[in-house]
Amino acid sequence: AQSVSQHNHHVILSEAASLELGCNYSYGGTVNLFWYVQYPGQHLQLLLKYFSGDPLVKGIKGFEAEFIKSKFSFNLRKPSVQWSDTAEYFCAVGPDRSNDYKLSFGAGTTVTVRA
């Protein structure tokens, strides 16, 4: 079975600081990779995804993630965070395109941005 590991449980930083959230997965085959975000009181929403092609993926709200196959990693980055980026971030992996509704999620990283 796949496992997804997010390195940090809680990250606290100031506005304008750079953010990088680590994500590693165990599955060795072809994977689909996702980052989801849940703002306080809201639903989970998709930030970005990687299926194939350019390993540097651009998402919404200035986020990007880089797929490094040799490291089984899909780290999320944002060069300059805002207070509104305070949220919980989940990395997820789907096994293949035929049934990738069975996503495996990391435990999540809570990001708190201080104004």
Partner 1 sequence: NAGVMQNPRHLVRRRGQEARLRCSPMKGHSHVYWYRQLPEEGLKFMVYLQKENIIDESGMPKERFSAEFPKEGPSILRIQQVVRGDSAAYFCASSSGPKGEKLFFGSGTQLSVL
Q: Give the binding site for partner 1 (CB under 8 A).
A: 4, 6, 32, 34, 36, 41-46, 49, 51, 90, 92, 94, 97, 99-108
Q: How far is the CB of 103 from partner 1 (least distance, A)?
A: 6
Residues found in the chain: 115
The residue among 74 and 90 lying less far from partner 1, judged by its C-beta, is 90
How far lies 31's CA from each of 4, 9, 15, 61, in Å?
12, 24, 33, 24
The residue among 17 and 22 lying less far from partner 1, judged by its C-beta, is 22
Q: How far is the CB of 104 from partner 1 (least distance, A)?
A: 7
The residue among 64 and 88 lying less far from partner 1, judged by its C-beta, is 88
Listed in sequence order, the residues at least 6 apart from 75 whose beta carbon sits closer than 8 Å to its beta carbon are 20, 21, 22, 23, 65, 66, 68
Do 40 and 60 contact (CB within 8 A), yes or no? Answer: no
